[in-house]
Structure 1
Amino acid sequence: MDLFRSVRTVTTASGTGYVDWAAVARAAKDGTAPGDLSLTDAEREGYAADVRDARDRLHRLGGVEFDLPDTVEIQNRHHWIDANVDTFRRVMEPVESQGPEVLFPGLSRVINTATLSFMMAFLGRNVLGQYDPLLLAEADPVDRDHGLYFVHPNIVAVADSLDVSRPRFRRWIAFHEVSHAAEFGAAPWLSTHLETRLERGVDALAAGDLDREAFHELDVAMTAVEGYAELLMDRAFDDDYTDLRAKLDARRQGGGPIARLVRRLLGLGLKRRQYERGAAFFRAVADARGLAGASAVWERPENLPTDAELDAPERWLARVGEDA
């Protein structure tokens, strides 16, 4: 890790866009130790077994049919940064190509590059696993090679800091990320649904406007995505994980004031609220109709809960019949 080189990279950001993306990747990696990726044979097989077991249990208990992504990677922090810089570049492309002229483009580019590199470095040191549906990629959603990533150095570091078994903690992360793969596999329309709202929101920002409805619909859909994954975890994971969740939540709420501020700015508290709100909705639906009945959410876009229904599951149950 070389913080001086990271700062120097940011201050020399160049190009013609709002962001020097190559500099974002270099500066984020300069400010982040990659972490050890020298896995033992047992660790490598452990990841593979956890993913297989998660797939098989979700098939059996969730009543959802899906295939695992072709790309399942065990990454270090630098690998994760590279993959996600590409994602952010796709999302920001409309803003960079259509956005208004700025008064001091060189200074603006340096500030934007610094902000994104700091964000990518922070996330790269904290993300444990990720299911990546490759939103806004050029290929049609049904043809995309979705990705499943595990950031091994972070999983090891967090398991040790929480004083929990590394294999048990790794398995918990694997089940959660495979649960997301199950959602997108069960709902081929979901990627397009999310992309449409994301594109509307970003296009409005590029035009100097704010499409609140698009971002609201995106938030409601992501609340359903996160909540359903929590439900599947509750029913499919082969161990009680209350202690893991409590320890991880306590860790996220702790740390220094800068870490807490960064989490707030990145919306990580919002993500936790999405988990909790969505999980409460799906638990109520599953209690009424079973896990297969809750999976009806993914049969078509119209079955997604509305914002009001998330807090009143009985309304969704009345609207979406048992034969849906």
Structure 2
Amino acid sequence: MTDLPFGFSPPPNPDDHGDGKSGGGAVPPGGMPPFDISQLGQMLSQLGQMLSQSQSSGGGPVNYDLARQIAVQQLAQSGGTSGADQAGAVADAVHLAEMWLDPVTTLPAGARVAQAWSATNWVEKTLPTWQRLFDPVAQRISGAWVEALPEEAKQAAGPLLAMVGQMGGMAFGSQLGNALAQLAGEVLTSTEVGLPLGPDATAALLPANIEKFTSGLERPASEVLVFLAAREAAHQRLFTHVPWLRQRLLDTVEEFARGIKVDTSALEQLASQVDPSNPGSIEEAMRSGVLEPQTTPEQKAALTRLETLLALVEGWVDVVVADAVGERLPGADALRETLRRRRASGGPAEQTFATLVGLELRPRRLRAAAALWRLVGDQHGIDKRDDVWAHPDLVPTSADLDDPMEFAERLGVTYAELDDPIAALERAEREKREENGPTEG
């Protein structure tokens, strides 16, 4: 190996006398080897291709075209295009699940379309949502590089900053592409990570991944497919008929990402690791942890809200699906526990996204949320349980998950006051007098 830049030939071998038989080739009298024009052409071609890819990404902080290409190429090598031909089986499973869900929830069916996706389909269908989630992260991190430079350094760098930004976009795109490929090889449905990643009102299952998942279980494949279809259909009922929920989930992730702060004192260390002519060195620097984001109090608050909301969604789905399939599928309880553990522990792909975005998309308090929804349904009925989703102010908080009994009692008072507005006014007047204290006369 040599340390020479790409496109240059090694120095002449001193043992080579120019006879062309010693492996070094003929050397002209001046002692310099002949210039290989083909290497220059190859170098310029590679540079042009790199810049062309960067410009085609739209100039954003992440080269999403590159991310998609990398993910699709990796999945093609691992058979990630299989499964999309099972549309009929998926449609039948979703249709059966919808009929079972109708009696156990007041929210109507939310999916207008049922589709069988391959892993490649998952990447292409969900990439617009991942773009919305990753842009704030990439902007904060890539922007920190430039913000930390002295003004004279910015002026001296000139156009080089734009090229570094393009390389940074390619590095982010490469990381994202690898992560998407890994996650696409694991997910079972479009909503498994807890976020509405796919198109609106579309229930999607990945039969090839479900087949791999089923191979480790002692249950019939048809039973597993219907159970997962019921979970997907239940998610779609929430995301379709609770108008604020989809936006609130995505906004909370964006709020977390916008709060990222980078320790700019680490930029000097980063500069020593980066070779501007080598995009791979930028990616390695990102992976090294030099620019590890710092968690702020605002981010911690956003993370708590996100984890609570994810837990409430998954807990509601858990309870509703258990009621819908419990007596119909013999292995429902075992499948329910398996998926609970799967979501709680996460997989290597979720670890990858935790590194990229800085948060883990896990419902850490799923069991507590499921217990709360079960209690509310038992005490007040499924109508009032599902009415809680009518407004974000009615939804349980993290403190309510600690004391579900108190939430259920408070909810009973709320609904009683809605039924008797006079009683509500009298209670408000009483609380106001107690707040102001005793008055004369």
1:239 maps to amino acid? L
Query: Aligned partners of 1:195 and 1:266: how far apart in 2?
Result: 15
Q: Percent identity?
A: 21
1:229 aligned onto 2:320: no
Query: Aligned partners of 1:191 and 1:162: how far apart in 2?
Result: 32
SS at match of 1:128: coil
Query: Aligned partners of 2:334 and 2:188: how far apart in 1?
Result: 17
CA displacement 1:94-140 (0-9 Å, x = unmatched): 455676253553553343223211210111000111247469xxxxx
SS at match of 1:31: helix
CA displacement 1:247-267 (0-9 Å, x = unmatched): 55677899xxxx955444545
User: Does the Cα contact within 8 Å between 1:285 and 1:294 map onto a contact in 2?
Assistant: yes
Instruction: Find the partner of 1:29 among 41, 62, 72.
Output: 72
1:14 aligned onto 2:54: yes
Aligned to 1:215: 303
1:37 maps to amino acid? G
Query: Aligned partners of 2:100 and 2:334: how far apart in 1?
Result: 22
User: Does the Cα contact within 8 Å between 2:90 and 2:115 map onto a contact in 1?
Assistant: no
1:239 aligned onto 2:329: yes
- When normalised by structure 1's length, the TM-score is 0.78
How many residue pairs end up in the alignment? 299
Displacement, 1:67?
Answer: 3.6
Runs of 4+ in 1 over 6 A off after TM superposition: 206-209, 249-254
Q: Which has the higher Rg, Structure 1 or Structure 2?
A: 2
RMSD: 3.4
Query: Aligned partners of 1:94 and 1:304: how far apart in 2?
Result: 27
Aligned to 2:122: 80
2:124 maps to amino acid? D
Q: Which has the higher contact order (CA 8 A, sep 6+)?
A: 1
Instruction: Find the partner of 2:399 among 308, 315, 319.
Output: 308
Query: Aligned partners of 2:136 and 2:305: how far apart in 1?
Result: 20
Query: Aligned partners of 2:364 and 2:120: how far apart in 1?
Result: 28
Aligned to 1:90: 132
Query: Aligned partners of 2:137 and 2:351: how far apart in 1?
Result: 24
1:111 maps to amino acid? A
SS at match of 1:72: strand
1:34 maps to amino acid? G
Aligned to 1:46: 89
Displacement, 1:84?
Answer: 1.7
Q: Per the alignment, do residues 81 and 298 of structure 1 end up closer, same or farther by CA in structure 2, a change over 3 Å counting?
A: same
Aligned to 1:164: 219
Q: Per the alignment, do residues 77 and 38 of structure 1 end up closer, same or farther by CA in structure 2, a change over 3 Å counting?
A: closer
Q: Per the alignment, do residues 169 and 218 of structure 1 end up closer, same or farther by CA in structure 2, a change over 3 Å counting?
A: same
Query: Aligned partners of 2:219 and 2:184: how far apart in 1?
Result: 22
1:124 aligned onto 2:184: yes
Query: Aligned partners of 2:335 and 2:87: how far apart in 1?
Result: 22
Report 1:55-204 matches (<5 A). Answer: 55-64=98-107, 66-95=108-137, 100-102=143-145, 104-131=164-191, 133=196, 145-204=200-259
Q: Per the alignment, do residues 264 and 276 of structure 1 end up closer, same or farther by CA in structure 2, a change over 3 Å counting?
A: farther
Comparing 99-108 with 17-26, greater Cα deviation is found at: 99-108
Displacement, 1:171?
Answer: 0.4
CA displacement 1:165-207 (0-9 Å, x = unmatched): 1111110110001111122234222223334433433333489
Comparing 269-278 with 237-246, greater Cα deviation is found at: 269-278
2:228 maps to amino acid? I
- Structure 1 unaligned blocks of 5 or more: 1-7, 136-143
